[in-house]
Structure 1
């Protein structure tokens, strides 16, 4: 779902996964280095520049494939809430910033009630540089695809 007024907007997606909310969150908060194994073809490398994996203020550079092309992003963790399986990233540099003044992604996994698995919510808020800037739907779709790959990876561990 997308909502935009002028240059500011947000996109959001929910997906059901089989992994527990806690395990999924832990992949985002503490095991980002394993994404290369979990997401073949999408994540090419990631490097921790500052802080500790998934901790408030930590900074990571990601090299990934977006729309069939190599891309890079530098993200800073802005919020971590382990009790609610939530983590928020702000993109501070990289290819996405060619189109956006600001771009913040929040991912939260919520346990399903009365059944195994969880629901992952991706929420992205952005401000475009201009009306001609690309739409973030493709970034949201990539996040959903990566989430599915991570779910499959976590299920193989069990």
Structure 2
């Protein structure tokens, strides 16, 4: 019996859909400078930034724990500012057979709406749904919006030693 799960949410932001899409899709390595309390680093493992087939290695904090994940850019729709990352390995697969993160930036008259979707297949019914990971995605989107709108400077969340 397959245990498919799907969680989705919309995040209203003030920044344009194009600017948001550009930073999260083409320049994800900058995200660790924007919200280092959540994303500690994004490294290019294989391919080119913003290209289908590119493999990224992420270091992030989830539920108070340091985590890692390796993703591949599975699909991109430049016209509609959307893309899909497929998880290849890492902490997100501890209780899941498969996991995908889908992001779509939808323009509005003022600002945009970021549609974030998680699709996964759990290993067994005792695995909880990924509500806390979805909330992490929401928090990151809000930090990126604040950066794009000039509310914060890149690196402002980095604490000085």
TM-score of the superposition, structure 1-length normalised? Answer: 0.92
CA apart distance, 1:6: 6.1
CA deviation map 1:29-69 (0-9, x unaligned) = 21111101111300111110111112100000000000011
Matched, 1:107 2:111: no
* Aligned counterpart in structure 1 of residue 123 of structure 2, from 105, 123, 129: 129
Q: Which residue of 2 aligns with 1:48?
A: 44
Let me know the Cα RMSD of the aligned residues. Answer: 1.3
> What SS does structure 1 have at the residue aligned with 2:149?
helix
Runs of 4+ in 1 over 2 A off after TM superposition: none
Q: Which residue of 2 aligns with 1:146?
A: 140
Unmatched 5+ residue regions in structure 2? 154-161
* 8 A contact 1:28–1:87 mirrored in 2: no
Q: How do residues 1-158 of structure 1 correspond to structure 2 at under 5 angstroms?
A: 7-112=3-108, 115-156=109-150
* 8 A contact 2:5–2:129 mirrored in 1: no
- 1 CA distance for matches of 2:48 and 2:69? 18
- 1 CA distance for matches of 2:110 and 2:89? 38
TM-score of the superposition, structure 2-length normalised? Answer: 0.90
> What SS does structure 1 have at the residue aligned with 2:79?
helix
* 8 A contact 1:6–1:131 mirrored in 2: no
Unmatched 5+ residue regions in structure 1? none
Which stretch of the first structure deviates more once superposed, 126-135 or 142-151? Answer: 126-135
Aligned residues: 151
